[in-house]
Structure 1
């Protein structure tokens, strides 16, 4: 099993424990809303289309509404099973590349929204997978930054996320850096740079 699969299964276990109405870090979403999102993402591309094509938005709302009416355990089962065979996300290498970050972040969205959450022990395989994901996506996350952005992990490795005349360096474990990239304010990172530039990066609307 890879990191994407591990995070998927652990998220499903956590969803089963906390139930459908637990808070998340995804704005006003509760855990049922997050579960519906994950099912739509992997199993209902026709509903996804409504987010980009206005004329299809009604169909998207209908599909998501029907999914919300399902027993929560059914939604969890669909997530746990992974993508159907027709979805390329079900291919092992594609799953690991695309879903490691997705399921790690959403796992933490539920974990860190709980009042008694604690940091997980460091896992080298997870950190490497998330660093790899960041190396491919950092320029998308930080591309609109008005200043340069460099991501740095504790071993000194860096990713140049955005070039600029002045640079803010964001320091942390890959698992925390990717939470920052996804605009999760709970990310345990630190900054190097002048205060105005750091504030500009923090105010940036990140994520895809």
Structure 2
């Protein structure tokens, strides 16, 4: 079994080590130390990560995650690199691949594309196809807030209707699966995609809040 999620995790950690704890990311308000703390909490501290879903616990999550971010950065990155603890189902390779591929790919690019010298990576076709499969599963959720219809086109790979029109017409988004994933996750300003549709529809899509938020 090819473990794209594990490879992206290792590359992300390489990047965290390369740029250091105080580098910017595309996650608003987070430096690299904050992103590393988020990734650790997500897999290893369910008592804290519940705060991402239940407002009652949000304050504790923010405080404890901030404390982790201000701690030993190298140790924190090493813990992220090691993967989920054995008691977590995310430690199982098949679960890791389904649940973490997009998570680690997007956050890897959150670091890379926040740096002044970034350029798109040339990804192997196998990884692009894995990202396309993940995007097809998640597209309806990611584009649920779009006021336009959305059709995703990955040349040479596939086409997928992500959302029916609402207040506007339909926009075709064209690009490599990796770039379409980034757009779907709210990184539109840093995703290399092409738009086909009426100008007002394109503007409406670009201004909508996409992703899990």
Could you say which TM-score interval applies, normalised by the shorter chain?
over 0.9
Tell me how far 1:58 sits from its aligned partner. 3.8
5 Å-filtered alignment, 1:155-194, equals 155=156, 157-164=158-165, 166-184=169-187, 185-194=189-198
1:164, 1:58 → 2: CA distance?
A: 38
Partner of 1:123: 124
2:66, 2:148 → 1: CA distance?
A: 41
Tell me how far 1:66 sits from its aligned partner. 3.0
Tell me how far 1:28 sits from its aligned partner. 2.2
Tell me how far 1:172 sits from its aligned partner. 0.1
Partner of 2:200: 196
Secondary structure class of the residue paired with 2:190: coil
1:3 and 1:125 in contact (8 A); partners too: no
Q: Alignment RMSD, CA only?
A: 1.4
Partner deviation per Cα, 1:30-79 (whole Å, 9 max, x = no partner): 10010011011111111112233333234323421331232111110111
Q: State TM-score, norm by structure 1.
A: 0.95
2:33 and 2:70 in contact (8 A); partners too: no
Secondary structure class of the residue paired with 1:128: helix
Return 5+ residue gaps in structure 2 as ranges: none
Task: Sort the Cα spacing of 1:156 and 1:69 in 2 relative to 1 into closer, same or farther, 3 A.
Answer: closer
1:144, 1:58 → 2: CA distance?
A: 26
Tell me how far 1:179 sits from its aligned partner. 0.4
Return 5+ residue gaps in structure 1 as ranges: none
1:164, 1:73 → 2: CA distance?
A: 47
Partner of 2:139: 138
Task: Sort the Cα spacing of 1:9 and 1:156 in 2 relative to 1 into closer, same or farther, 3 A.
Answer: closer
Tell me how far 1:176 sits from its aligned partner. 0.2
2:10 and 2:81 in contact (8 A); partners too: yes
Tell me how far 1:156 sits from its aligned partner. 5.9
Report how many residues are paired: 208
